[in-house]
Amino acid sequence: MENLIGQEKQKRDRQIAKWLLIGVIMIVIQILLGGITRLTESGLSITEWKPLTKILPPLNNTAWQIEFDKYRTTDQFKYVHQSFSLNDFKQIFFWEWLHRFWAKLLGVVFLIGFIYFLIKRKMNRQMVIPMIILFILGAMQGAVGWIMVKSGLVPQKYFVGHVELTTHFVAALILLSYLLWFALSLMPSMHQKIKSAELKNILSAILILVFIQLIYGGFMAGLKAAATAPTWPDIHGAFIPAGINEMKPWGINLVNNPLTIQFIHRGIGYLLVALIIWFYLRSKNMVSNVIFKKLRITFLILVSLQVVLGIFTLLNATVTNNFILLGISHQFTAMLLVMCLVCLYYLVVKKLPQY
């Protein structure tokens, strides 16, 4: 009898886990759409925030002209895209609309799934609070996104603020990681843990560095820092370029100086490669867990690929089409790296849990 109850519980958990993993995939797509929106400078094409309406794009020439006239009042149009025709505007409008539409669709998928599992009594009480937190995080992410857009709709601003952009990006990855962790907790295959205080400590160090690296990746994107020094392995002919300390007070360089930000982003990248290689070597004897074995190899491959993509993205920073393609690939690989890290962090524990 207990065995049958246990099997039924595992079946329900797997169903919910699959639903959550669909959400993970949708969030990955949403972040990629955000990246395309940023790289195509489309983020300010919609000047209003109407999360519960404005589902469809303009459907006739009059409606398109109204939206275009709103965009023409922005300083981005006046000083950057003043040559844009209505057809040019439609192209950037599409990416921002799709990014917002996908966010609404994501909310609908979660709401319908949540109601369905509640009605079918497949969701126990312990799952309700994490789900409520998930909805709150999703709503906050939408609000942060609008704050980001508003930061670029003020006088003398041609693009969204890089701090606001970074906050939106990192918050999305936190939401992604939270959802993935929730899904992993419902997957029986992830219950076989690896006990190692050393590996957990190394992963904790990697996690902290990845978090900082993501922040500086957002700063790189928001300030278009790659274009300030599209060279490698040097930065304007030097390992430590002149100009990384030119802003006063000095601390401002860490947030607003493109050269300093690029220098830090590169440095953390090298350090992450070293740490992940160290993790790979120290975990070579922990291969009894098949999932862990595959993840540690994948982790090493992803960080290697990420470095290569980062270098080529940097070198093509002034070649628009190449930069967009490479930038999206770099961002996608970063998400895969984060998800792989979350899975490893979930599997490795300092003390085995009791089930």
Dump the DSSP string for 58-89.
P-SHHHHHHHHHHHTTSHHHHHTSTT--HHHH
Number of domains composing the chain: 2
Is-contact 339 178, C-beta < 8 A? no
Same domain for 156 and 96 = yes
Q: Are residues 250 and 266 in the same domain?
A: yes
Which structural domain range is residue 67 located in?
1-191
pLDDT tens column, 215-259: 999 999 988 999 998 999 998 888 888 888 888 898 899 999 999
Question: Do 303 and 244 reside in the same domain of the chain?
Answer: yes
pLDDT at position 263, please?
94
Q: Are residues 307 and 252 in the same domain?
A: yes
Boundary-marking domain end, from 191, 226, 243: 191
What string of DSSP letters covers 109-171? HHHHHHHHHHHTT-S-HHHHHHHHHHHHHHHHHHHHHHHHHHTTSSTT--S--HHHHHHHHHH
Token pair of 241 as six digits: 């370029």
Q: Tell me 242's DSSP state.
A: T
2 band by pLDDT with thresholds 50, 70 and 90: very low
Residue 253: its pLDDT value, please? Answer: 93
Mean pLDDT (whole number) for 305-331:
93
Task: Give yes or no: residues 120 and 14 share one domain.
Answer: yes
Same domain, 33 and 67: yes
Q: Please say which residue of 172, 191, 210 terminates a domain.
A: 191
pLDDT band at 327 (very low <50, low <70, confident <90, very high): very high
Last residue of a domain, one of 191, 219, 246: 191
Q: What is the tens place of the pLDDT at every residue in 88-134?
A: 899 999 999 999 899 889 989 988 988 888 888 877 777 888 888 88
- Examine the domain organization and report whether 200 and 167 are in the same domain: no
278-291, pLDDT tens digit by residue?
999 999 887 788 99
Closest CA to 181 of 355, 339, 6, 8: 339
Categorize the per-residue pLDDT at 79 as very low, low, confident or very high, splitting at 50, 70 and 90. Answer: confident
Task: Give 3's pLDDT tier (boundaries 50, 70, 90).
Answer: low
Cα(226)–Cα(219) distance, rounded to whole angstroms?
Answer: 10
What pLDDT score was predicted for residue 326? 94
Q: Average pLDDT, stretch 179-200?
A: 90
Of the given ranges (55-64, 154-163, 325-334), which has the lowest mean pLDDT?
A: 154-163
Q: Please report which helix (H) or strand (E) contains residue 195, including its range.
A: strand 194-195
For residue 329, the model assigns a pLDDT of 95
Q: What is the H or E stretch that residue 348 is in?
A: strand 348-349
Largest CA distance in the chain: 73
pLDDT digits (tens, 9 = 90+) for 121-159: 877 777 888 888 888 888 888 888 878 888 877 777 777
Q: Judge if 92 and 116 occupy the same domain.
A: yes
Mean model confidence pLDDT for the chain: 88
DSSP state of 188: G
